[in-house]
Structure 1
Amino acid sequence: MRDERASNQMTPPRLKVCCIQTVEEARLAVAHGAAAVGLVSKMPSGPGMISESRISSIARTIPPSVGSFLLTSARRVVEIIAQQRRCRVNTLQLVDRLDEGTYDDFREALPGISIVQAIHVVGEESLDEACDVARRGVDGLLLDSGNVRLPVKELGGTGRVHDWRISRQIVEAVGIPVFLAGGLRPDNVAEAIRQVRPFGVDVCSGLRTDGKLDESKLSAFIRSLRSVDDRA
């Protein structure tokens, strides 16, 4: 997941289509140029959850060049490692903070598997959290609009936009790939890219109609994504 863009050149960010429900949705996303798809396992709240057996079935159909992201709310490394071995994805997206084990434990147990840590941007303190996580050697960050402090945690899929000014600060500070998520839609993604300059963008509810991936919204999103020029 190396960031190949020169710092003075804007190219379209990688597209991650999240909340994939079926093999057909995964194929649709990949056919339209998605660099990654997100597969949501058990969560305390939010959309898109599917069983691990379905995640495994979908992951088997995804080309090796495309990121297959398992979104996990588990907080123990041993539990997450077991999930990956059942689901056979190539990327783990940790949507909550670890409370047992370290990122190095993943490296030892799962060589070749990428680790992306979600940071829920709630205020200026999120910059310090992102920098701390980046120093520990994750492969990337994903900036989302959840809230881990609520009685029932929000760990993604809120449809809310957070403060892109803080997200831009994180992108400039951490030196590793950063995906931007949270309330992105065809009508705001171009401005989000101009303001934040992320490595990639992540979208779930903004591409769905009646719970299904909407090809017309996907096409409109990609057109907007590709319309961004070098001016920031």
Structure 2
Amino acid sequence: MERTANPRVKICCISSIEEAWIAIRCGASALGLVSQMPSGPGVISEELIAEIAACVPPPIATFLLTSSLDAQEIIQQVRRCRTNTVQICDRLESGSYQDIRDGLPGISIVQVIHVITEKSIEEAINVAPYVDAILLDSGNQSLLIKELGGTGRLHDWNLSAQIRKQVNVPIFLAGGLKPENVAIAVEQVAPFGLDLCSAVRNNGKLDENKLKLFFQQLNRALGRSEIKLLTPNS
């Protein structure tokens, strides 16, 4: 995948309509809505996910984060939550990506790859032809209690950069991103999108000042002026 000059920003672990609008006003292109997970922050009910997704205007993407391993379960979950994107945080073990496409026409499929070793590169290359994007994160599926995201940890960005160069779908970079390292992330990995959660929160709540600071540092890294903040009536 070629370098991206203008990375999108996805704010994950959105927990209310208010948080959704804070993220949108600050410049988010996508929102992450976390359903049941074995561990990690930001889990909310499917009912609340559907409520938030219904209030998000186009062209903002709404990502349902699922830990399900089964294509048919994922189809039913997305139908209940009514997001326009599904982020598969674990490996799909039953059914196929095509099953999901057939069951959810128009849905975007994002597969998470937890970057641990060079085997992660092969995993990303193998899955890329079947998905719309890959999200590189810092979890670990082999632990007794799986980590499927929200760790706040960095992984080896050299591996992420290799993946970005070797696949032909957009790459989102997640895991430990913050204002202090976003310029390095953009330069080293050049992802299509940046995904963040813990660095822009205070006691679990989305912090508008921290989010603004992140966007200021991103804009500085990209050599552009600050973006105009949006309002619900814009």
| TM-score scaled by length of structure 1 | 0.94
Partner of 2:171: 178
Once residues 146 and 41 of structure 1 are traced to their aligned partners in structure 2, the CA distance between those partners, rounded to angstroms, is: 16
The answer as to whether partners of 1:12 and 1:226 remain within 8 angstroms in 2 is: no
Partner of 2:186: 193
Aligned pair 1:154/2:147, yes or no? yes
Q: Which amino acid aligns with 1:31?
A: R
Q: Which amino acid aligns with 2:44?
A: I
Q: Runs in 1 of length 4+ with deviation above 6 angstroms?
A: none
* Aligned pairs (5 A) from 1:91-110: 91-110=85-104
Once residues 229 and 20 of structure 1 are traced to their aligned partners in structure 2, the CA distance between those partners, rounded to angstroms, is: 26
Partner of 1:18: 12
- SS at structure 1 position matched to 2:37: coil
Once residues 97 and 220 of structure 2 are traced to their aligned partners in structure 1, the CA distance between those partners, rounded to angstroms, is: 37
Aligned pair 1:120/2:110, yes or no? no
Once residues 211 and 39 of structure 1 are traced to their aligned partners in structure 2, the CA distance between those partners, rounded to angstroms, is: 14
User: 1:164/1:68 Cα in 2 relative to 1: closer, same or farther (>3 Å)?
Assistant: same
Gaps of 5+ in 2: 224-234
Partner of 1:47: 41
Once residues 175 and 40 of structure 1 are traced to their aligned partners in structure 2, the CA distance between those partners, rounded to angstroms, is: 27
| TM-score scaled by length of structure 2 | 0.93
The Cα shift of 1:229 comes to 4.0
Aligned pair 1:75/2:69, yes or no? yes
Of 200, 207, 227, which residue of structure 1 is paired with 2:220? 227
The answer as to whether partners of 1:207 and 1:214 remain within 8 angstroms in 2 is: yes
Once residues 220 and 189 of structure 1 are traced to their aligned partners in structure 2, the CA distance between those partners, rounded to angstroms, is: 11
RMSD of aligned alpha carbons: 1.2
Q: Which amino acid aligns with 1:134?
A: A
The answer as to whether partners of 1:93 and 1:117 remain within 8 angstroms in 2 is: yes
Aligned residue-pair number = 223
Aligned pair 1:207/2:200, yes or no? yes
Q: Percent sequence identity over matched residues?
A: 56
Q: Which amino acid aligns with 1:38?
A: G
- SS at structure 2 position matched to 1:11: coil
Gaps of 5+ in 1: none
Once residues 134 and 121 of structure 2 are traced to their aligned partners in structure 1, the CA distance between those partners, rounded to angstroms, is: 12
Partner of 1:88: 82
Partner of 1:169: 162
For each residue in 1:113-149, what CA deviation from the matched residue of structure 2 results, as whole angstroms up to 9, or x when unmatched?
00000000001110000000002x2000000000000
The Cα shift of 1:175 comes to 1.1
Of 42, 45, 59, which residue of structure 1 is paired with 2:53? 59
